[in-house]
């Protein structure tokens, strides 16, 4: 799994054992329903073209670890307004890429030290949840 900053072309490697927890929550068609004064049903359908959420979470506390040095890069990128990135999911039977931004209307990145206490060593491990939104 890779995340590339499309401005600088810098890539960071993310653990392959992160889960895309909301992969199947996206519905491409949205509708509203209302009624006329006479009681007739009016349905309005729209095709969504962007806005799919991509939330990458560690499946448990023993998986999905990233080093503090990578976490610091992600935090720096998350502070850049409007930064577009390419998220590439690479599995043996599935390779997909998405144009994404951090989801700033949520907490874009949540991190907890694996050892359970603060660490300042670049080599220490963190459990990280990353929240993106697809922009294409």
Most confident of 1-15, 60-74, 122-136: 1-15
Instruction: Tell me the pLDDT band of 119, cut-offs 50, 70 and 90.
Output: confident
Residue 108's domain comprises 2-25+52-134
Q: What is the pLDDT of residues 9-67, one digit of tens each?
A: 999 999 989 999 999 999 999 999 999 999 999 999 999 888 999 999 999 888 889 99
What is the total count of domains within the chain? 1
Q: What is the pLDDT of residues 89-109, one digit of tens each?
A: 998 888 999 999 999 999 999
Q: How far apart are CA 14 and CA 67, in angstroms?
A: 10
Q: What is the pLDDT of residues 34-49, one digit of tens each?
A: 999 999 999 999 998 8
Residue 11 has φ and ψ, to the nearest 5°, of: -115, 145
Q: Is residue 13 part of a domain?
A: yes
| Under 8 Å between Cβ of 88 and 1 | yes
Show the CA angle centred on residue 23, arms to residues 20 and 27, nearest 5°.
160
Q: How far apart are CA 79 and CA 115, in angstroms?
A: 26
């Amino acid at each position: 799994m890779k995340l590339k900053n499309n401005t600088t072309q810098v890539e960071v490697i993310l653990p392959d054992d992160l889960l895309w927890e909301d992969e199947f929550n996206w519905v491409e068609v949205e509708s509203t329903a209302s009624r006329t004064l006479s009681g007739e049903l009016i349905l309005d359908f729209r095709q969504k073209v962007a806005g799919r959420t991509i939330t990458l979470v560690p499946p448990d506390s023993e998986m999905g670890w990233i080093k503090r040095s990578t976490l610091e890069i992600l935090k720096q990128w998350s502070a850049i307004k409007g930064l577009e990135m390419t998220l590439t999911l690479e599995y043996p039977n599935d390779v997909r890429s998405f144009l994404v931004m951090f989801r700033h209307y949520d907490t874009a990145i949540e991190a907890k030290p694996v050892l359970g206490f603060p660490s300042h060593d670049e080599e220490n491990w963190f459990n990280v949840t990353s929240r993106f939104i697809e922009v294409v």
